Amino acid sequence: MRMLLASALMFAASASATTISRAAIHLNGVTSNRGYFNVAIRLRQVEGIEWAKYDLAKSMITVDFAPGKSVTADQLRDACRSAGYKPGEIEIQTVDQPAVHEGKLGWRRMKQATARNPVGRWFQLNF
């Protein structure tokens, strides 16, 4: 009986959700889909970002990082500035990894360019 209980506890501990980092970036002035697109293109160049969701009403982008990856607030701030927007507050927190992002309203997988050639990178990010 003890062996069964111990193995059940071990299984529950191993089945617990892994944690990932999530950042909420408040952008001042992004009120259109085109503005989000400009910021998203720059965020795609930041290694480690896996999923993104934007909210035009709040002028905010939420990004989830790949498990085991993290990005500093300065990297996110620089990406937003390079898109022509001044970022406001950036909140980075640790959350349980969602079982599924796909199909959830608003979440989009961020493509990562692997080409070394700038033209190849542009095609990978835009098509």
Query: What is the set of domains in the chain, with CATH numbers?
Result: 16-126 (3.30.70.100)
Decide which of 11 and 44 is more confident. Answer: 44
Residue-wise burial string across 20-55, b where 16 or more C-beta atoms lie within 10 A, e elsewhere: bbbbbbebeebeeeebbebbbebbbebebbbbbbbe
- pLDDT of 86 reads 87
24-28 mean pLDDT: 90
- pLDDT of 81 reads 92
Residue among 41, 60, 57 nearest 49 (CA): 41
Average per-residue pLDDT for the chain = 78
In the structure, what pLDDT confidence band is assigned to residue 7 with cuts at 50, 70 and 90?
A: very low
Phi and psi of 27, rounded to 5°? -110, 135
Phi and psi of 124, rounded to 5°? -65, -40
Is the pTM of the predicted complex or chain greater than 0.85? no
CA–CA dist 104, 7 (Å, integer): 34
Per residue in 32-83, pLDDT (tens digit) is 888 888 888 888 888 888 888 888 888 899 999 888 887 889 999 999 999 8
